[in-house]
Amino acid sequence: MEIPRQFQQLIDDVEELLARMDDEHSPQLDQLRTRIETAVSRLNRSGRSTAAQVRRYAGVADDYITGYPRTAFATGILIGGLLGFLLSTRSSD
């Protein structure tokens, strides 16, 4: 989880820099400021929608496991066995 923290720090630093340069006005700086604000806004919306998707999928998985515990257990065993088989054949190459 270090990358999201570093990414948020980068966004905070850029926003602080924009705030410090608020009294500086030139067409290039105004254009750059607009592009950065648009990118930060887009990233924030993307992060929120990704988090919402993860919560929704986690809820679906929880409902499935709660509703069909034996099937979920068997599926977990099957997936675990398949992964173990694939890893063991890969390491023996």
What are the tens digits of pLDDT across the range 2-37? 667 777 787 788 878 777 777 777 787 778 778 887
Cβ contact 14:36 at 8 Å: yes
Domain ranges of the chain: 2-68
Task: Using alpha carbons, list the distances in angstroms from residue 90 to 56, 77, 81, 87, 93.
Answer: 34, 20, 14, 5, 6
| pLDDT confidence of residue 4 | 73
Separation of alpha carbons 40 and 15, rounded Å: 9
What are the tens digits of pLDDT across the range 30-56? 787 788 878 877 777 777 777 788 888
